[in-house]
Amino acid sequence: MKIGVLGAGTWGMALARMLANDDHQVEVWSAIKEEIDELSSSRKHKNLPGMVIPDAIVFTKDIEEVCRNKDILLFAVPSVYVRNTVKSAAPYIPDGQIIVDVAKGIEASTLFTMSQVIEDVLSDEAHKNVKVVALSGPTHAEEVARDLPTTIVSASKDEESAKLVQDIFMNTCMRVYTNDDVLGIELCGALKNIIALAAGISTGLGYGDNAKAAIITRGMVEMTRLGLKMGAKQTTFAGLAGIGDLIVTATSMHSRNNRCGMLIGQGVKPMEAVKQVGMVVEGVNALPAAMRLIEKYEVEMPITAMVNAIVEEKIDPKSAVNALMQRDKKNEMNF
């Protein structure tokens, strides 16, 4: 297959390497020209130490070039850049194109998931047959770049497109499942980053495994509550893109959100913590949209709300924990 990758961050490059090693023709584009020069010449990625970029991968600074004559276009830019990237690529995206999105987030201004953003930009007559697939799951780039066993979900309203992406991405190291609950898959991908921030804050405060387990479990309840109100399937939240991705994001040191939360818990100012992580922290980006969704759908999400208050510096982390612990008594099964 001929595959164009838009975005040369850790996840985009880990997937590009994997696909190239499976004998697909891979071309990579980035809006950052210096990044393309560095990757092309060094064949290494600074945030993926030990990974060698195959010689077969072609790099380009021309967005038209990366879109031209491709079986698959893989959008791997941070969620806040998805709309502008699709706008730039739109003139060169043919009708019927299969687009795979791996960004995880919710657009604050529209409350659209990333596939909805792509569909919104490509809603004109010239792109009426474009198919969008969301690819999401517990998949740290650092491990995929080392060919460690990984599972992921290919979700699309078009079953054949989901299955095609399953066939292309599945190999001895990557097992791919399909799912038709695109909304649920994408909500999981965005919201779990916020809960991972909470788990990191807990660790930074010096709390133990009991607290982290509680945050993961009750965080999943919050995610499921909102998902059900929005029309997603409850089973999706119990799957790889739900509890699977939440576990890995809330517990691993590969997780930017977990690391950022730890720094905040240790007393670092939230925006300074983001700077120290040195890469995009999607949980922080997702908070404005999450708070609007809480209000719109009238859903109780206390952990999410407290993380937002901490990031906005309206409450300190320890006081936030005390407030959560002293909330009114509840039945655990009240979804």
The set of catalytic residues is 192
Pairing label, strands 150-155, 131-136? antiparallel
Beta bridge partners of 176: 152
- What is the residue type of 227? G
- Counted residue by residue, the chain has a size of 335
Site of tokens 């089973």:
235
**Exposed/middle/buried for 96, CB within 10 Å: 0-12, 13-18, 19+?**
exposed
151-161 in b/e form (b: 16+ CB < 10 A) is: ebbbbbbbeeb
Separation between Cα atoms, residue 163 and residue 161, nearest integer Å:
5
In terms of Cα–Cα distance, which of 161, 211, 198, 164 is closest to 182? Answer: 161
Beta bridge partners of 3: 26, 72
